[in-house]
Amino acid sequence: MREEFAVYGLPVWFMYLVGFFKLSFASLLVATIWFPALRGLAGGGLAALMVGAVAMHLKVRDPALKSAPALCMLAMSLALALIQ
């Protein structure tokens, strides 16, 4: 990941910050098993991170295949965030 963030022109500290938020929102997603009210926060947070990931892929003109995981995760996160 360090190399990817360097290609995107992002500092190393930002990689750790993104990692922290990914782990936090993923943990919240697991917690929705017991606390369904957290679903919007978990899904919305992951979706926001994935919007940033897709934007970075577009910025460096990555091929579509390399951007596909972020797009799929964005779609799934949005679906979770919007389920009522």
Report the alpha-carbon distance of residue 26 to residue 83 in Å, rounded.
17
| Burial label, 81 (beta-carbon count in 10 A; 0-12, 13-18, 19+) | middle
Q: What is the pLDDT along the chain (84 residues), one digit of tens a residue?
A: 899 899 899 999 999 999 999 999 999 999 999 999 999 999 999 999 999 999 999 999 999 999 999 999 999 999 999 986
pLDDT score of 1: 86
pTM for this entry: 0.90
Q: Tokens 């929705």 appear where?
A: 32
- Please, are residues 46 and 12 in contact by the beta-carbon 8 Å criterion? no
